[in-house]
Structure 1
Amino acid sequence: MPSVSPSSPSDGRSSSGGVQSLERAFGLLEQMADAGGEVGLSELSASTGLPLPTIHRLVRTLVACGYVRQQANRRYALGPRLIRLGESASRLLGAWARPCLVELVEKTGETANMALLDGDDVVYVAQVPSHHSVRMFTEVGRRVLPHATGVGKALLAGLPDQDVRALLSRTGMPAATGHTITDPEVFLGELRQVRERGFAMDDNEQELGVRCLAVRIPDSPTAAAISISGPAGRVSEAATERIVPVLREAARRLSRELTAAGATVG
């Protein structure tokens, strides 16, 4: 996340030509999200370099708007009004990515998914089902713990090990099947393999008989991944060698389109 600049031009504009107070407010929301959703004012001041009076003024405005709420312990947490914005943005992102997922289904023959890391959960924001009579199906909007899914592994592989350990300590590692990894150190070893080979696999770990291949979308403004899932008999080792390059190219395409969409604003 870009740092929140403590400098303050006299006309209220930032060095990028935007409105500095807005940049700072959104920067604080991102800092709170990075801290797990709850933080103190002094922590925000230390992490941003902004003086406490400025932090207090911005946070007070965010509280009044419902985007931040004050806890009983006087710390601040992300507010409920952000939920509506996040849900709408997720739906739009899923609709925008759908043509790419349709192409993935045509090229691989298997169900294609897109998912985001939202707090400690993976949330599915789009899916295009396979044309096979036997196929995988996941409801859009479904939330799952990341440790037992291909998309979850792909997303967590982009985080430092200490952040992954903290997440796993909050969520636990319940076994969905007898193949689910339930040991944090074994899981961190799995993430190292994901980084080395460039894709993640859920091999009967979320549901018996199902195999999922996933890759993270590079340079996405929010952590996102795409995947294909199908019966383990069809998503074989030979099929994996064919499918992974298709997944990687789709992820690169989505990354380029996200970058282009961002560049049109300004």
Structure 2
Amino acid sequence: MPAAKGNADVPSAESKTAAATAGGVQSLERAFDLLERMADAGGEVGLSELSGSSGLPLPTIHRLMRTLVACGYVRQQPNRRYALGPRLIRLGESSARLLGTWARPYLARLVEETGETANMALLDGDEVVYVAQVPSRHSMRMFTEVGRRVLPHSTGVGKALLATTPPDEVRALLARTGMPAATAKTITTPDAFLEALHLVRETGYAVDDNEQEMGVRCLAVSVPDSPTAAAISISGPAGRVTDEATQEIVPVLKEVAADLSAALASTDGT
């Protein structure tokens, strides 16, 4: 009597479910990767560009992009190129607020150790946006409204955020925004700004010396390995944030930035 044939070649229900789950996770990973590649390319790309940079076949990219368009996260332009969609704005605003909430205990520590107002800022497109602040306890102190947007060329956080950006990209950004003078000390030429960024890379911190507002000095450092470009800073009257005080404040800034980076990288966000 012939032996009964087994089911070795027939996928079980469990294996089908596992395969479907794996496929779904892979599609999500690919979709998010494409969104990040679009952001890196300036927000608008063609399918062939995405295929070249991602290594994915065109049919796969086309299928993923159709899904992203249907969900509102990508839109197709009249020239048939694809651009990041408006629905991402809501996600970005919510995540920025959450990032600011996570940062507040670290900013409070900065205030405690330096005595000056502490801020956190992100690079949003071509602008710097402040997402968190803890004010100094001094009666004379600096206030920056959370949500305020400024151009990066006149701020310490802007310099910290752009310090490692390739010079050609910095020049292109400055060409788009212009370099209006907020004070008599504002840097107003691309060459001078690039020199300032070189100094940031050398020293590990950025200075706004009366460049955004007369009488105010700010010290800033980037948050290493942040999920999005971020910087923290302290700001205070120029009479308190002196060169001598800077030597004491900068190590504290760097230490807090490193601790905040570790917290953002942790699985539980603490």
TM-score (norm 2): 0.89
In structure 1, how many angstroms separate the alpha carbons of the residues matched to 2:228 and 2:268? 13
Q: Is 1:11 aligned to residue 12 of structure 2? A: no
Give 1:140 deviation, angstroms.
0.8
What's the secondary structure of 2:236's corresponding residue?
strand
Amino acid at match of 1:158: T
Q: Is 1:185 aligned to residue 195 of structure 2? A: no
2:263/2:269 contact within 8 Å kept = no
Counterpart residue number, 2:96: 90
Counterpart residue number, 2:113: 107
Q: Is 1:160 aligned to residue 166 of structure 2? A: yes
Counterpart residue number, 2:181: 175
Amino acid at match of 1:225: A
Give 1:262 deviation, angstroms.
6.9
Q: Is 1:223 aligned to residue 229 of structure 2? A: yes
Counterpart residue number, 2:44: 38
What's the secondary structure of 1:19's corresponding residue?
helix
In structure 2, how many angstroms separate the alpha carbons of the residues matched to 1:175 and 1:70? 38
In structure 2, how many angstroms separate the alpha carbons of the residues matched to 1:70 and 1:155? 31
Counterpart residue number, 1:142: 148
Q: Among 50, 54, 69, which residue is 2:75 paired with? A: 69
Counterpart residue number, 2:132: 126
Amino acid at match of 1:105: V
Q: Is 1:195 aligned to residue 201 of structure 2? A: yes
Q: How many residue pairs get matched?
A: 253
In structure 2, how many angstroms separate the alpha carbons of the residues matched to 1:228 and 1:76? 40
1:33/1:78 contact within 8 Å kept = yes
Give 1:247 deviation, angstroms.
0.2
Which aligned segments of 4 or more residues in structure 1 are displaced greater than 4 angstroms?
none
Counterpart residue number, 2:262: 256
Amino acid at match of 1:11: A
TM-score (norm 1): 0.91
In structure 1, runs of 5+ residues without a counterpart are 1-9
Give 1:76 deviation, angstroms.
1.3
Counterpart residue number, 1:79: 85
In structure 1, how many angstroms separate the alpha carbons of the residues matched to 2:24 and 2:259? 29
What's the secondary structure of 1:91's corresponding residue?
helix
What's the secondary structure of 2:234's corresponding residue?
strand
C-alpha change, 1:171 and 1:222, in structure 2 (3 Å) is: same
2:133/2:146 contact within 8 Å kept = yes
In structure 1, how many angstroms separate the alpha carbons of the residues matched to 2:62 and 2:70? 12
What's the secondary structure of 1:11's corresponding residue?
helix
What's the secondary structure of 2:186's corresponding residue?
coil
Q: Is 1:58 aligned to residue 64 of structure 2? A: yes
Identity rate, percent: 77
Cα deviation per residue 1:52-97 (whole Å; 9 max; x = unaligned)?
1111111111111011112222221111111111111111111111
1:12/1:20 contact within 8 Å kept = no
In structure 1, how many angstroms separate the alpha carbons of the residues matched to 2:176 and 2:136? 34
Counterpart residue number, 1:7: none
Give 1:261 deviation, angstroms.
2.9
C-alpha change, 1:119 and 1:18, in structure 2 (3 Å) is: same
Q: Among 8, 21, 24, which residue is 2:30 paired with? A: 24
Structure index of larger Rg: 2
What's the secondary structure of 2:266's corresponding residue?
helix
In structure 2, runs of 5+ residues without a counterpart are 1-17
Superposed CA RMSD: 1.8
